[in-house]
Amino acid sequence: MRVLITGGGTGGHINPALAIAQKVKSKDDSNIVLYVGTKTGMESELVPKEGFEFKSVTAKFLRRKISLENIKTLFASAKGVIEANKIIKEFKPDIVVGTGGYVCGPVVLAASLKKIPTMIHEQNVFPGVTNKLLAKVVDLIGISFNEARNYFPENIRHKLIMVGNPVRKDILVADRRKSRKFYNLKSDDILIYSFGGSGGQVSLNNAMLEVIKRYSGKINIKIIHVTGKRLYDSFNEELKQRNLDIKNNIEIKDYMYDAPTALSASDIVIGSAGAITIAEITAVGVPSILIPKTYTAENHQEYNARALEKKGAAKVILEKNLDGITLINSIEEIIENKNTLNTMALNSKKLGNTNVEDKIYEAMQNLVNSKAI
């Protein structure tokens, strides 16, 4: 099977695309993968490192309001369709799969116009603008939350298939006992792991100052807080200005290089509500306190977080309501009641998907076979 995969801009689009690409190659050595993105996106660096052939097309971000920039975007998209059409003609894919980001627009559209089987994958509850537009022309739409069905037009819901979000294999195979031993945790110790995404989250950092003050020196509680590289120095400076005495049960990091170990050892995860983060949390089965970032497109992180809250797997605090006391109260509601902690962990695990790539690959094969008849 010859598979053209496209998706870019952020890790939330690229990581699922790479997971699908890796599954395609692992299923059959004769399968061939081509990844199409933009020259300036993260994918241009990440994809070749993973050993996949990469080609680029012209694409620009489409704003949600009428503007002069959108006129430029239309011209760029038209050029991108022409470039994508040339790549498709040369590569001759059996299927084209898009995982979101504006680069998907011209590539998937070009494939659809040539009657090549097309599939898109939506990571969030609330679909991104590119996937909402492409949903009208593609053959199949993989969704990651059942709630996402409500945000696609009724006349195309027959295209929807529930698959979930791909999760990195190193997270799935992490051993909780070994991970807790790594952090010198006893069976009754509580590990709180907090992070605000790769770039950090100012509101979370501010709230965590109070959390650290509250729990510093507590024998049975360990906290690992990831500030984000750009915010690390200012966070530590704030700790000094507040004269906060950091004991050895508190660990402050600028970036978490070993997320699988930290996640699998955790009793509570505190963080933003990106789709891939949620997929990793639920795959492991950890209770969470989610703080959706307010500036995300269409406020999609809140939709993601509410989906977990509805199932009893997470507590949600909006950024506008977040402060140290509110966060401490949410933590204590969980850790001071073993039944609550265990129930939330169980509910989280129920939501986890560990065979997502297999579902996507099977859907791809079925689509290709049905079109060949």
Residues belonging to the binding site for UDP-N-acetyl-alpha-D-glucosamine are 10-12, 124, 168, 198, 301
Q: How is residue 167 written in tokens?
A: 């999760």
Question: Cα 218 vs. chain centroid, distance in angstroms?
Answer: 33
191: which strand partners?
Answer: 222
Tell me which residue has tokens 């949410």. 330
Q: Please tell me the distance from the alpha carbon of residue 12 to that of residue 82, in angstroms, as a whole number.
A: 26
Q: Return all residues near 199 (Cβ < 8 A) that are at least 6 apart.
A: 228, 229, 230
Tell me which residue has tokens 């971000």. 61
Are the C-beta atoms of residues 205 and 230 closer than 8 Å to each other? no
Q: Please tell me the distance from the alpha carbon of residue 347 to that of residue 193, in angstroms, as a whole number.
A: 19
Q: Return all residues near 98 (Cβ < 8 A) that are at least 6 apart.
A: 5, 6, 7, 104, 107, 108, 118, 119, 120, 121, 130, 131, 134, 138
Are the C-beta atoms of residues 292 and 321 closer than 8 Å to each other? no
Closest CA to 123 of 307, 329, 312, 250: 307
Binding-site residue numbers are 10-12, 124, 168, 198, 301
Please state the three-class secondary structure of 24-81 as a single string: HHHHCCCCEEEEEECCCCCHHHHHHHCCCEEEECCCCCCCCCCCHHHHHHHHHHHHHH
Q: In what order do the strands lie in the sheet with 250-253?
A: 250-253, 221-226, 190-195, 268-271, 288-290, 314-316
